[in-house]
Amino acid sequence: MTDAPRPAGAIPTLEDVARAAGVSRATVSRVVNGVRNVDPAIQEAVRQAVSVTGYAPNRAARSLVTRRAETIALVVSGAGIEEDADEGSFTARVFADPFFGRVVTGVVNYLRPRGMHPVLMFAETSRARDEVVSYVRQGSADGALIVSTHAQDPLPALIADAGLPAVLYARPSRPARISHVDLDHREGARLAAAHLLARGCRRVATISGPMDLPVGQERLAGFRDTMAQHGHEEVAVAEGLFTQESGEVAMERLLAEHPDLDGVFAANDLMAVGACHVLREHGRRVPDDVALIGFDDSSVAASCRPSLTTVRQPVEDMAAEMARLLLDRLTAPNRPATSVLFEPVLVVRNSA
């Protein structure tokens, strides 16, 4: 007996996929729901049948089987505590920095092929942080990927204390039982210092990141240590905020205090771009008069004129690793917190 053809316009069902793949409905269900102990050849047959039939799993029904929301909270968190904090200003600063776009790219590219979807959340107030914790605790998301923008941010500890699955971008400023990915920032700053010295720079300054953040402290320490090892005990420092505007302010200060400087290391690309603008306004040629190095290898590094020599932070790869660690934690809830350290690479362009 031949099965009646499916009416035109009808929504494909598990039975349609099973007929196309030549397997049982139960087998299709197991493959669609990610059950691991299915023969790889059968899995491939089912995937092809899904593609041919156009079947789309019912997310609500699938959640009942897997007990998962298939959603991950991607949280950009600060340390604001006032309920009337300027939320628009916070989100504007986030979207102005290419770093955050790279994080989203890495997370989405890892999660999407695995049937998982990120939900972007901002946690710049105590109320917003409570909302994030409740969102994950109530099962609206299976876990959280957290990018913290402030050393005093309490969210990582709140998430860890609640026993919720989460991974943090960068080492937490305060102890917390939470997995994280990070970069060897000291090594990256060492690469920048060594390159300036190899160019013959002898009157070198640096625009540091915020000194209340571990990343700012580590990059400054790595740069200073390397310069000291080569006989340069004193290095001029102006603190920035990882924004282009703060880079401009810092460069103005450095030029006023050290007009004969011949090399600058900025602790991120945005500040380096700001420094480049100021150097140009003061008639200093980059790199002929002042060699300039940034950090991150973001999109602004290539578009800067001259193009920016910088230390590459593989943000997309690090964000994908965050997602991988989180999915591993969902598979094995008792797995202890872990950390993954990435290595930086110097990308030489035209500014140094």
Residue 25's pLDDT is what?
86
Model pLDDT for residues 311-343, shown as the tens digit of each residue: 999 999 999 999 999 999 888 888 888 999 999
CA trace torsion 47, 39, 118, 133 (10° rounding): 150
Torsion angles phi and psi, residue 268, rounded to 5: -155, 165
Residue 260's pLDDT is what?
94
pLDDT of residue 251 exceeding 80 = yes
Model pLDDT for residues 260-307, shown as the tens digit of each residue: 999 999 999 999 999 999 999 999 999 999 999 999 999 999 999 999
Greatest distance between any 2 Cα atoms in the chain = 91
Rounded CA gap, 296 and 284, in Å? 24
DSSP percent split of the chain into helix, strand, coil, nearest 5: 45, 15, 35
Residue 346's pLDDT is what?
97
The DSSP symbol for 218 reads H
Compare 10 and 165 and report the one with higher pLDDT.
165
19 three-class SS: helix
Residues facing 206 on adjacent strands: 237, 265
Rounded CA gap, 57 and 260, in Å? 66
User: What does the DSSP assignment read for 153-203?
Assistant: --HHHHHHHTT--EEEES--SS--S-EEEEE-HHHHHHHHHHHHHHTT--S
Rounded CA gap, 345 and 119, in Å? 31
Model pLDDT for residues 38-94, shown as the tens digit of each residue: 888 888 888 888 888 877 665 545 554 545 658 899 999 876 544 445 556 767 777
Strand order of the β-sheet with 117-123 is 117-123, 71-77, 143-148, 166-169, 179-183, 339-342
